[in-house]
Structure 1
Amino acid sequence: MKRIGAAALAAVVVMLGLLVSRADAATLFSDDFNDGNASGWSTSGGSWSVASGTYSQTGTSADAKSQAGNLAWTNTSMQARVRVNFFGSNASRAAGITARARSSADSYALALTPSSVELRRGSNVLSSASFGVATGTWYTLRLEVFGSTLRGFVNGTQVVTATDSNFAAGRIGFIAKYAAASFDDVLATDTAGPGPTSSPTASASASPSTSPSPQPPAGQADGFASGTTGGAGGPIVVATTAAQLEAYVGQAGPLIIMVQGTIAIDGMLTVVADKSIIGAGSTAHITGGGLQTGSTTRPGNNVIIRNIKFSNADDDSISVTNGAHHVWIDHNEFLPGYDGSVDVKRQSTNVTVSWNKFSGTDKSMLLGHSDDFTADIGYLKVSYHHNYFDGANQRLPRVRFGEPVHVYNNYYRNIGLYGVVSVQNAGVVVEGNYFENVAHPCYSVSGYADSGPGRLVQRNNIFSNSGVCEAGGNVAEPGSYYSYTLTPAASVPSVVSASAGVGKL
């Protein structure tokens, strides 16, 4: 989706306590590259292309730049996710975002180097801060240029600032200076700190409070969802009604949504990119419906869902679908609903499902849309760890096509039909789990139902009063994608039962 314009956007957000309202914000430009092209961007140097919903520059031997927008833009907040894939050997190597770009050489930039974050004017460093940049990790960068004040943010935290008046106006863009890097989820606005693009219908009925507003808990995604930042950098809003929740999850731009109390909804609410949806305290509850990441036209990438109880969903409780990537589902509790508790499908990938409790659920976790949906091949990279399956029935998970899928340190207790299934040539590593009273911990090489066989490696698991885990074939190692530390399998029941679910962050 690309939007260039100056339509005024009312952004009055009712918050509690320390929250600040913003009004008359305009979105200047946005792009998530899910249309498969970089229309509207012009490049200088390097090798630029769009693949799998990200914009990348693959060379390390050039001072590469790409720009978009209008030379007349003055006050601009430019935000994007940036991942350095490889630093070249040139001493000035860096990757980042730009604003007030007048030419390929003249712009302000917020740049990641191997050991620092720098605020630059052209090749001159105006301000810097020590920062260990990990290659292969996504960072959300925001560069604000308002008057002569320049501010740089990483993952929502201001790290550098400077005063400079050399460049008064210009475009936004990316730099990959002797570095290979990827870029995604661009949002440029004319107000400091990108925020909601419209006022939720229900917010007019809310009233300010003098009590402190709920704050998001600490923690960061691991496993395949590493680098997911959700709504970091955006404002915090509080949802207490279905209308508020629906409006907030569907707004463009980063937003941290604190769910307070019980909210009854109908159907699936579409969650668009850059959202953190977090339960306040230990009583946040969504019932009657569920959350779906994006649609075919509005992607739901970079989403965090934490600390919420889900019950009685009329479809799925959470559906990660429509090509969503970088989604972290953590410390929630799932009670029975009509269909799945957490389903991941339709070319979605880079997902972590961690520290959740599944109480008596049936079709708990489907991975892969169907046996016929071969478009899922090459996607569906998911980590499932430290989840508590208490009296759940099946699909814990049921995997088609994905590889590697990493199922580790989960506690399976009193399971009805089966635990893990790998079919349709999926590759699953089942590691360090504790199976208690599970007649069929795993199916793989024999297939399951009408699905063909898959591959499954099992190691370091404990089977207490349980059957045999059917395993066979070779699977790509999850450790080649990310680092992790196993909890000893014997400790999994006590560790997971004590810490999984809501109110235990």
Structure 2
Amino acid sequence: MRTHVGYERALARVAVVVALVATAVGAPPAMAAGPAADGFAGVTALGQGGTTGGAGGAVVTATTTAQFLDYIARPEPLVVQVRGTIVLPTGTRDGMHDVASDKTIAGLGGDARLVGGGLNIGLPVDDDVISPPANAVHNVIIRNLSITGATDDLINVQMFSHHIWIDHNDFSDGDDGAVDIKRGSDFITVSWNRFHDHDKTLLLGHDDDNAAQDAGRLRVTYHHNYFDGSDQRNPRVRFGESVHVYNNYYRDNSYGVASAMNAGVVLEGNYFFSVNNPGRVDFSGDLGRMVARDNVLVECNHEIEVRGSVVEPRTYYAYTPHRAVEVPTVVPAGAGVGRV
């Protein structure tokens, strides 16, 4: 059970979101355990009532690589509990292993780890597909896992995957991205994670020429994450709107958020300490858009760049942010593994 300051507020916030969704469109099914998904992962859309993962399916425990890879690929809803360390082989796909729809993958205790490889959430890449296919991977929860040492991405989300919740994990030392989201993926929340000892952290939209798949999608919420010396792409955004980045703690980063290719980012209630460029819209490719409010900058070399207007996240969901001055206490105390 989390005991950090603000936990009661977090529970209350979840209750408000669930009540509002229930009033408007009917509440999504409850998760197998823990609070309901919030942010964009909690929105009813694309035929999915929020993100519930494997709720309603069997609960299984993986202690070996073979068990884990079998469980995450099964077609039925499943809650996959991870005990101890699972080594993911490199194989012929550079260590990326597919996760099927309707899965909760959750570590037991504070020492569940995936090492050596990463998780792929999404169909194979196909540039000719420009709208969500019926079999797009959806409704996946990944919680309470340390994921480290991957030879590619730690987590990759692609090809119109939707309703994904990545919550309370520890990410480090991947060869490429920590959590990359691309190719039309949508309705995703990345919350209460710690990112450290990593370079290119969060990519949202992989290419300046991919508007056909990405424009009007890539709606992602990033909240209460601890960017603990993770160098760049926290996140780096193309095309997505709205992208909601709130109540994150940034410490010793080269840059925080970059918005390009007309992406629309709301940067709200974050705390930046010793960050060279907290927020940028003049970065690479066409200019992005950014609305910034209630952020705190300490020992930063540049101000946040703002430009244009952005569709407000409250158009989609209710939320109650912490005050930015609370973030350096609340986020390190609550982000990462062993706190759910």
1:265 to 67, 76, 88: 88
Residue number among 191, 210, 232 corresponding to 1:373 in the alignment: 210
1:494 to 312, 318, 329: 329
The CA deviation at 1:301 is 0.2
Counterpart position of 1:135? 24
Aligned twin of 1:413: 251
- 1:339 corresponds to which of 142, 166, 176: 176
Residue 40 (structure 2) aligns with: 224
Q: Is the 8 A contact 1:435 1:462 kept in 2?
A: yes
In 2, Cα distance between equivalents of 1:434 and 1:241: 40
Look up the SS of the partner of 1:379 in the other structure. Answer: coil
What is the CA deviation profile of residues 392-437 of structure 1, one whole-angstrom value per residue up to 9, with x for unaligned ones? Answer: 100000000000100000000011x211000000000000000000
Q: Secondary structure at the match of 2:241?
A: coil
1:272–1:299 contact (8 Å) kept in structure 2: no
For residues 425 and 237 of structure 1, the distance between their equivalents in structure 2, rounded to whole angstroms, comes to 43
Asked if 1:388 corresponds to 2:226, the answer is yes
Contact 1:225 1:326 in 2 (8 A): yes
Is residue 136–residue 162 contact of structure 2 (8 Å, CA) maintained in 1? no
Asked which structure has the greater RCO (Cα within 8 Å, sep 6+), the reply is 2
* Structure 1 equivalent of residue 263 of structure 2: 426
| Alpha-carbon distance, 1:138 to partner | 6.0
The Cα shift of 1:439 comes to 1.2
Number of aligned residue pairs:
298
Q: From the superposition, tell whether residues 397 and 235 of structure 1 become closer, same or farther in structure 2 (CA, over 3 Å).
A: same
Q: Matched residue of 2:116: which SS?
A: strand
Question: Residues 384 and 287 from structure 1, CA distance in 2 versus in 1: closer, same or farther, beyond 3 angstroms?
Answer: same
Q: Does the C-alpha gap of structure 1 residues 137 and 387 become closer, same or farther in structure 2, counting only changes over 3 Å?
A: farther
Q: Which residue of 2 aligns with 1:275?
A: 103
Letter in 1 for 2:116: G
Structure 1 residue 240 and structure 2 residue 85: aligned? no
Structure (1 or 2) with the greater strand fraction: 1
Q: Which of the two has greater helix per residue?
A: 2
Q: Contact 1:236/1:255 (CA < 8 Å) preserved in 2?
A: yes
Structure 1 Cα separation of the partners of residues 120 and 220 of structure 2 = 17
In the alignment, the residues of structure 2 paired with residue 369 and residue 481 of structure 1 have an alpha-carbon distance, to the nearest angstrom, of: 24
Q: Deviations over 1:249-307 (max 9, x none)?
A: 11011100001101110211111110000000100100111111132496320000000
> What is the CA deviation profile of residues 220-270 of structure 1, one whole-angstrom value per residue up to 9, with x for unaligned ones?
100000020000000100011111111111101110000110111021111
Say which of 123, 126, 129 aligns to 1:295: 123
Deviation, structure 1 residue 218: 1.4
For residues 317 and 101 of structure 2, the distance between their equivalents in structure 1, rounded to whole angstroms, comes to: 23
Secondary structure of the residue aligned to 1:430 is: strand
Aligned partners of 2:177 and 2:26: how far apart in 1? Answer: 30
1:256 aligned residue (60, 64, 79): 79
Give unpaired runs (5+ residues) of structure 2.
1-18, 43-49, 90-94, 125-132
In structure 2, what is the Cα distance between the partners aligned to 1:365 and 1:403? 16
Q: Measure the CA separation in 2 of the matches of 1:464 and 1:137.
A: 43
Q: Which moved more, 1:239-248 or 1:324-333?
A: 239-248
Deviation at 1:133, TM superposition (A): 3.6
Question: What TM-score results when the alignment is normalised by the length of structure 1?
Answer: 0.57
Shift of 1:134: 3.4
Looking at structure 1, the residues matched to 205 and 25 of structure 2 have their Cα atoms a distance apart, in angstroms, of: 25
1:257, 1:276 within 8 Å by CA — same for their partners in 2? yes
Paired amino acid for 1:295: L
**C-alpha deviation, 1:136, in angstroms:** 3.7
Residues 453-490 of structure 1 deviation map (CA, whole Å, 9 limit, x = unaligned): 10000000000111211111110000111000010000
Aligned residue in 1 for 2:162: 325
8 Å Cα contact 2:255/2:275 also seen in 1: yes
Percent identity (aligned): 51
Structure 1 residue runs of 5 or longer lacking an equivalent are 1-114, 116-131, 141-154, 157-215
Counterpart contact for 1:138–1:228, Cα < 8 Å: no
- Equivalent-residue separation in structure 1 for 2:27 and 2:57 (angstroms): 17
Q: 2: distance between equivalents of 1:452 and 1:421?
A: 12
Instruction: Kindly report which structure 2 residues correspond to 1:4-153, keeping only aligned pairs within 5 A, or say none.
Output: 133-136=22-25, 139-140=28-29
Aligned residue for 1:277, secondary structure, equals strand
Alpha-carbon shift at residue 139 of structure 1 (Å): 2.7
Give the Å deviation of 1:137. 5.4
Matched residue type, 1:464: V
Counterpart-to-counterpart distance in 2, 1:249 and 1:373: 29
* 2:9 matched residue in structure 1: none
TM-score normalized with structure 2 length: 0.85
**1:504 counterpart = 2:332:** no
Question: Which residue number in structure 1 is paired with residue 5 of structure 2?
Answer: none
Instruction: Tell me how large the CA RMSD over aligned residues is.
Output: 1.6
Which of 291, 295, 299 aligns to 1:457? It is 291
Structure 1 residues 431 and 481, CA gap change in structure 2 (3 angstroms): same
> Deviations for 1:91-143, whole angstroms, at most 9, x for unmatched residues?
xxxxxxxxxxxxxxxxxxxxxxxx9xxxxxxxxxxxxxxxx943345634xxx
In the other structure, the counterpart of 1:198 is none
CA distance in 1, matches of 2:315, 2:149: 38
Q: 2:117–2:150: 8 Å Cα contact kept in structure 1?
A: yes
Query: What is the deviation of 1:217?
Result: 4.1
Q: CA deviation at 1:332?
A: 0.1
Matched, 1:401 2:239: yes
